């Protein structure tokens, strides 16, 4: 950890009302100051300009890094990540998942509780937090199960799990089919001012479906998943939420039908938040024919009309959050055919460049809105730090070079998972530095503790005064 002044960046921080050039002083674990760059004349050198900026604050004893117009955002917050540990270490570990996170500009992740065993007692919460401390990369916030063993029969002790450090409750991976149990969960979580995250899937409708009920499934002759399976549970939980008035969050919304229900609920005054994944925003069911099981996920990829409805909902703030639903699997298992392979795709290392490439650069979303949906809003859902670089805030940030072009290569992932439907896609705009707690965790694609060249790259940056 080293105090540093980042000069010449372009900061987007809607919570602080900042959108434009900024110099940022990091001291210790926090943001000490954010200020407009000192005007320079043609005769003023970069070092003189840096000294003037530092002198204005009374600080001259730290390195100065010239960002050359690169974009600075508050660190991204991903509230839907499967780290798999304990029990699924062949798929992912807390350490490898956190390495993937910081490689993708993500500084905080919420860990889903469908581990083996599930996160339904304080010992497992403590284990995950200890593993995150050992990794010392991204912040990890465990989520607790709603039901014991994720069996959908008996409510966990939410008070005990909250005391142990969970930030919300979900049986993600499995829906809570019992409406009465879901009502109890909403009430109990509301008393703790914590969110319940709903995995919306009516299993009596899904049965053995594997793909969206569209043309691709019909061509391949595979059993289908109707959009009604998701929408039916969205409707049920909205009505339950109207009775309770707590904090309800919908995971991975994927269909036009579900979006219509969310719009109805917003007009009715029902309080909720919802998320969408990059893969549902940027892919349709046709990707399954190209990428096979690497594009098999739950909920499934759907049609262009669903895709358009999701983007409109994100733009209209009906959906407030982008989350990856990062779900790594061992390559040997994911290589099975479409019927036998498990659901799930990875996303920590591709989400940000996809958003930049498909939304920001195409004029579909502003940089400020990216911060809102991928940092500020998710932090607020879980009531955790993040979403701003205002003075006094934690020094969690990402620096992005919007001009870098790379081709997605799953062999280069830090995640153990290789199951991406974006393999081979050229994307423009990548993170080049990720900082957590004032400490640089990723620099130029190298991750601290994972890349042997990391220390040399950091030293070179400090000597050059530029990334």
Q: So what's the pLDDT on residue 446?
A: 98
Total residues found in the chain within this entry: 467
- For residue 386, which of 75, 109, 31 has the smallest C-alpha distance? 75
31 is a domain residue: no
- For residue 361, which of 429, 304, 423 has the smallest C-alpha distance? 429
Say how far apart CA 44 and CA 60 lie, in whole Å.
18
Task: Dump strand ranges (E) for 213-258.
Answer: 224-225, 247-250
- Annotate 12-72 with DSSP letters as a single string: EEGGGTEEEEEEEEEETTEEEEEEPPPP--TT--HHHHHHHHHHHHT--SS-EEE-TT-EE
Q: Sheet with 169-170: list strands edge to edge.
A: 169-170, 195-198, 247-250, 273-276, 321-322
Q: Out of 13, 78, 294, 325, pick the active-site residue.
A: 325
96 is a domain residue: yes
Q: So what's the pLDDT on residue 283?
A: 98
63 is a domain residue: no
Give me the CATH number covering residue 258. 3.20.20.140
224 is a domain residue: yes
134 is a domain residue: yes
215 is a domain residue: yes
Count of domains observed in the chain: 1
316 is a domain residue: yes
Is 325 known to be catalytic? yes
3-state DSSP assignment of residue 142: strand
- CB atoms under 10 Å from CB of 368, counted, come to 16
430 is a domain residue: no
Encode the chain (467 residues) as per-residue pLDDT tens digits.
679 999 999 999 999 999 999 999 999 999 999 999 876 554 444 445 444 444 445 444 789 999 999 999 999 999 999 999 999 999 999 999 999 999 999 999 999 999 999 999 999 999 999 999 999 999 999 999 999 999 999 999 999 999 999 999 999 999 999 999 999 999 999 999 999 999 999 999 998 999 999 999 999 999 999 999 999 999 999 999 999 988 999 999 999 999 999 999 999 999 999 999 999 999 999 999 999 999 999 999 999 999 999 999 999 999 999 999 999 999 999 999 999 999 999 999 999 999 999 999 999 999 999 999 999 999 999 999 999 999 999 999 999 999 999 999 999 999 999 999 999 999 999 999 999 999 999 999 999 999 999 999 999 999 999 99
Q: Is the whole-model pTM more than 0.85?
A: yes
**Residue numbers of the domain that contains 255:** 76-382
């Amino acid at each position: 950890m080293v105090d540093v002044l980042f000069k010449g960046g372009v900061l987007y921080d809607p919570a602080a009302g900042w959108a434009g050039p900024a110099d940022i002083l990091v001291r210790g674990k926090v943001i000490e100051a954010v200020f407009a760059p000192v005007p320079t004349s043609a005769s003023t050198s970069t070092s003189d300009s840096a000294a003037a900026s530092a002198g204005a604050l009374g600080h001259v004893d730290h390195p100065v890094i010239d960002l050359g117009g690169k974009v600075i955002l508050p660190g991204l917050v991903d509230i839907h990540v499967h780290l798999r540990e304990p029990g699924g270490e062949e798929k992912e570990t807390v350490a490898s998942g956190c390495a993937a996170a910081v490689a993708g500009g993500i500084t905080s992740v919420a860990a889903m509780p469908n581990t083996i065993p599930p996160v339904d007692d304080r010992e497992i919460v403590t284990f995950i937090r200890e593993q995150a401390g050992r990794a010392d990369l991204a912040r990890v916030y465990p989520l607790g199960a709603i039901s014991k063993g994720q069996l959908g029969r008996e409510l966990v002790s939410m008070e005990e799990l909250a005391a142990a450090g969970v930030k919300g409750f979900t049986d993600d991976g499995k829906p809570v089919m019992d409406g009465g149990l879901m009502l109890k969960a909403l009430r109990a979580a509301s008393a703790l001012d914590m969110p319940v995250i709903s995995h919306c899937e009516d299993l009596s409708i899904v049965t053995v479906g594997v793909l969206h009920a569209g043309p691709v499934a019909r061509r391949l002759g595979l059993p289908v998943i109707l959009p009604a399976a998701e929408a039916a549970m969205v409707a049920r939980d909205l009505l339950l939420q109207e009775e309770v008035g707590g904090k309800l969050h919908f995971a991975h919304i994927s269909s036009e039908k579900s979006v219509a229900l969310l719009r109805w609920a917003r007009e009715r005054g029902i309080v909720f938040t919802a998320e969408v994944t990059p893969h549902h925003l940027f892919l349709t069911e046709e990707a399954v024919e190209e990428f096979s099981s690497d594009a098999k996920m739950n909920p499934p990829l759907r049609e262009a009309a669903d895709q358009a409805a999701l983007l409109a909902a994100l733009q209209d703030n009906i959906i407030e959050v982008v989350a990856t639903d990062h779900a790594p699997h061992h390559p040997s298992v994911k290589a099975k055919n479409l019927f036998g392979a498990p659901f799930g795709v990875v996303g920590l290392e591709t989400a940000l460049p996809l958003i930049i490439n498909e939304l920001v650069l195409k004029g579909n979303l502003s940089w400020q809105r990216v911060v809102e949906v991928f940092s500020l809003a998710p932090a607020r859902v879980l009531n955790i730090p993040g979403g701003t670089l205002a003075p006094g805030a934690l020094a969690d940030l990402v620096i992005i070079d919007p001009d870098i072009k790379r081709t997605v290569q799953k062999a280069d992932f830090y995640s153990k998972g290789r199951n991406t439907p974006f393999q081979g896609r050229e994307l423009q705009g990548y993170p080049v530095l990720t900082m957590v707690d004032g400490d640089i965790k990723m620099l130029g694609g190298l991750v601290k503790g994972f890349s042997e060249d990391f220390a040399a790259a950091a030293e070179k940056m400090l000597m050059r005064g530029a990334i």
